[in-house]
Amino acid sequence: MQTNQKYKIIDRDMIKFIAIIPMSIGHFVDFYCGVSASLRNSLILFLLAQASLIASPIFFYFIAEGFRHTHSVKKYASRLFIFAVITQIPYCLMCNGTLVLSGMYTYLNVFFTLFLGLISLVVCESNLNLWAKIALVVILDAVTYLLKIQWLIFGIPIILILYYFKDRPTLRFSLFTLCSVGSLLITTLPAASLYYSKGLTEYFNLCIVGSVIDLCFLIAGYFIVTLFYNGEKGKNPAFTKWFFYIFYPAHLFLIYIVKTVAGKY
């Protein structure tokens, strides 16, 4: 799977703009419409909601790229952590209408995943011996599961895969797909198993079809960034850097406001 250079025509900032459009629409549809956006009730709403998954591999990829090119890993990590803490407020409000964490499938937002992914890269590129590196990365990955951070145990491996296998695209894609399937299994398998055991064939089939659709969106995001990214930052990197940091918590807070006004809580 060799990447054709003629397709590398989109800079970093434009790809991120491409990513946040389906992400924003998907989050709004998912959290505003709720069960109405399920595959059983509306295929169109379901597709709009799940299209937000396109953004995940794109932003994972740019964590790997950011680590490779940043002038200060310390400042980069600090920004991610600060915005992870900031984002947690609108994330909880959007999900629950309060700052209480109960009742949420994942308790901590994806900025924490990005932060821990960056820290894992720092560990892997440190002067520690191999077993110490492995142990620390396993601990960091366990933290994502124990604290119920978005993407659970699969976010960090994907970021590492995108960083270390940049020059081996076939293997990189295979490992990315494997982790994506694992992530989907860990979220859908409990429900699918329950439906199967109770003979609810329709619901079981919907779980399987929904997971396949989710995987297609993840792969679409993967190919958008790996095929079309040209290695350039964009025309206004200083502005867009802060724009993307601010946009994520801002759009979650906006969804919370709309849901509050509409009486959805």
Between the two ends of the chain, the Cα-to-Cα distance in Å is 48
Angle at 110 between CA 21 and CA 253, to 5 degrees: 60
Residue 156's nearest CA partner among 129, 175, 169, 170 is 175
Give all strands (DSSP E) within 87-186, no chain letters. Answer: none
Q: Which long-range contacts (CB under 8 A, 24 or more apart) does 174-182 make?
A: 176/57, 176/222, 177/215, 177/219, 179/154, 180/57, 180/154, 180/215, 180/218, 180/219, 181/215, 182/153, 182/154
- For residue 17, pLDDT beyond 60: yes
> pTM of whole model > 0.75?
yes
Q: What's the whole-number mean pLDDT along residues 213-236?
A: 96
Burial class of 3 by CB neighbour count within 10 A (0 to 12, 13 to 18, 19+): middle
Residue-level pLDDT at 2: 52
How many whole angstroms separate alpha carbon 221 and alpha carbon 61?
10
Q: What's the whole-number mean pLDDT along residues 234-244?
A: 93
pLDDT per residue over 136-193, tens digit each? 999 999 999 999 999 999 999 999 999 999 999 999 999 999 999 999 999 999 999 9
- For residue 104, pLDDT beyond 90: no
pLDDT per residue over 52-85, tens digit each? 999 999 999 999 999 999 999 999 999 999 999 9
How many whole angstroms separate alpha carbon 105 and alpha carbon 7?
38
Residue-level pLDDT at 42: 95
* Sequence-separated (6 or more) residues with CB below 8 Å from residue 262: 32
CA dihedral sign of residues 15, 18, 19, 24: positive
Q: What number of CA atoms fall less than 13 Å from residue 245's CA on the CB side?
A: 19
3-class SS of residue 265: coil
pLDDT exceeding 90 applies to what percent of the chain?
88
